[in-house]
A and B are shown apart, each in its own frame.
Chain A
Amino acid sequence: MNPHDASRAGADSLAVAVRNVTKIFPNGDTPTYALRDVSFEARCGELTMIVGPSGCGKTTLLSVICGTLAIDSGTISVFGHDLGGMSVAEITGFRSKNVGFIFQQFNLIPTLSVMENVSIPLILQGWNYRKAEEKAASILAEVGLGNRLNSFPKQLSGGQQQRVAISRALVHDPKLIICDEPTASLDAKTGLHALELLKKSACRPDRCVIVVTHDSRIFSFADWIAEMEDGRVVRSCPAAEFHHG
């Protein structure tokens, strides 16, 4: 296992660099080590998966990469920005511009229409509503939901909701896409379709996609896989190598 594997693209394509990160959750007298001296890299143009059993620290690693969770030691660099040197407000601003999220439960606001949900990242960046909704409508059309713009999330199937979530993650053209268990709320077929769509629409040479999953059926979509166990990255390799053990 070598997180700085020389076989990967050059340093200029490095999107995320996690170095010796430790995260401890206080738990009475026995603190829980969620991350133990973790090092990890993700590169632009690749879909990197973080895999492993439940409770191994995948989601914690995802949270610290996007700056929603503070670390206890180590460094995290995202597109050259050291998150440790940024204030909470700066990290929030950074996330708003550079990170797109796809949550396990989608987290689409039920009282907002599909178009309104997708336009939120743009509105957060100060776009006016009309333009934001126009952009949202165009990206929804790309994922095949052009006829459901004014529907509400509850009126959609799980797969359609996932497509809305993908659209919301991509609408503001972020450099980093974070997906947390994107297939957990979907059946097998829909999950595969969702990953196909994600791979097709999100993966670009200037963008890094990180997917946390324990669903081995979708490992084949990965370019690189980092396997975690007990708060440590135990293996990090190209997907092809991972499949061959």
Chain B
Amino acid sequence: MLRIALLMLFRDRAKYVMLVVGLTFCSLLMTQQSSVFCGLMLWTTATVRNIGAKVWVFDAKVEQVNEVIPLREIEVTRVRGVPGVEWAVPLYVGIEQARLSDGSFQNVQLVGLDTATFVGRPMEITKGRIEDLRLPDAVIIDQVGVDKFRKKGITIDIGTTFEINDKTARVVALCHANRSFLGQPYVYTTYDRALQFAKPQRKMMSCVLVEPKPGVAARELAENISAAPGLQAFERDDLFWATIRWYIKNTGIPISFGTVVLMGVIVGIAIAGQTFYLFILDNLRYLAALKAMGARMPILAAMVFLQSFSVGFVGFGLGVGLTSIFGYKVLKIEQPPFFMPWQVPAFVAVIIIMICCFSAAIGLRQIAKLEPAVVFK
């Protein structure tokens, strides 16, 4: 009878199309918005992913990577004294203003790397050499910066100069880095030069990057460092999630996206539930006839669930497929943020299953109440 159930559904084109469109829209809305949310959250952790150190040491009050409280440089020495530390280097991270040759400004995310080791260097140098960072006024700028400057009519290449807080910066290499939350280009330089570029403060060092000794667990080392007064250390993944948690807790982003996702669920339930209910009502007489002819309730239930889940499956597939096309297109231009981990389609699948179950259940309720004798009326 399952084939009969599918034929009954597929050949009722108007309702079938409406059901699929409703569930596709619902699935698309939920998948797309969830993926944009995940992408946005990923942007907040760009610095963690770009620098990549195993252990990060901050001031004890710091909650996430984008909101740092400067430390004294002496803290590097304290950290190096903690058992289990292989090496520890200072890092400067701050938003500075770059002035272009035409007088316009662009905020940049300035990263000062340890001069000797370049720990936290860009993942991929697309043009030039990292070693040239030791040259006078040298900076490396990421592709986001190249693109942003291009939009302002300025071509950035090796040798291009601009000013950061009135001090000359000369591009010696181009790199690829993960895009930051606010979209400022990453500009890499040495730690000492970053301090020259930045506006002077009593404390300048943003954090200390630490490598554990072989055999020492990063998280355990972070706990040991955190035991020192005034310091707080994070293992890389912990910092990643602490940053995301901070944004979820302290911004309206999850509520905004959550509302849209909820709307998707409501639209799905409303359209799919109602259309499926109408579909069942339209077929009630025939279902009663089937009941009279000897179709038992489990067979009818299986038919209804199959009908409901088949439209759910198609709607889910189309929704996720369209979202993937959207993601494929926007990833090229990096706007808006987009990241679709497997949990997103899994989450949407669960919601769609729930909508299908709900739709089938309200239909089944009608069928269960149905007396086969009504076919004689």
A interface residues with partner B (beta carbon < 8 Å): 59, 62-63, 66, 68-69, 89, 92-93, 95-97, 99, 101, 103-105, 107, 109-112, 116, 120-121, 123-125, 129, 180
Contacts and interface: CB of A to CB of B under 8 A. Distances in A.
A109 B286 contact: yes
Contacts of A105: 285
Contact of A59 (B3, B4, B376): B376
B346 interface: no
Contacts, number: 79
B279 to A, nearest CB: 10
A103 B288 CA distance: 11
A69 B371 contact: yes
A92 B290 contact: no
A167 B299 CA distance: 23
B203 interface: no
B7 A111 contact: yes
A107 to B, nearest CB: 4
B10 to A, nearest CB: 8
A95 B4 contact: no
25 contacts: A59-B377, A68-B292, A68-B371, A92-B291, A96-B293, A96-B294, A99-B294, A103-B289, A107-B375, A111-B11, A111-B12, A112-B4, A112-B8, A112-B11, A116-B4, A116-B7, A120-B293, A121-B294, A123-B4, A124-B293, A124-B294, A124-B295, A124-B299, A129-B3, A180-B375
Contacts of A107: 285-286, 288-289, 375
Contacts of B286: 107, 109-110
A115 to B, nearest CB: 11
Interface string B31-43: 0000000000000
Contacts of B116: none
Interface string B298-319: 0100000000000000000000
B128 interface: no
Contact of A69 (B1, B11, B296, B373): B373
Nearest to A169: B293
A123 B12 CA distance: 21
B296 A89 contact: yes
A125 B293 CA distance: 10
Q: Which 4 A-B pairs have the closest CB atoms?
A: A96-B294, A111-B11, A107-B289, A68-B372
Contact of B294 (A93, A103, A180): A93
Contact of A62 (B3, B4, B11, B376): B376
Nearest to A129: B3
Contacts of B293: 95-96, 99, 101, 120-121, 124
B376 A104 contact: yes
A14 B288 CA distance: 29
B373 A63 contact: yes
A118 B135 CA distance: 88
A123 B283 CA distance: 19
Contacts of A62: 376
Given A63-B373, A112-B7, A101 B290 contact: no
Contacts of A125: 294
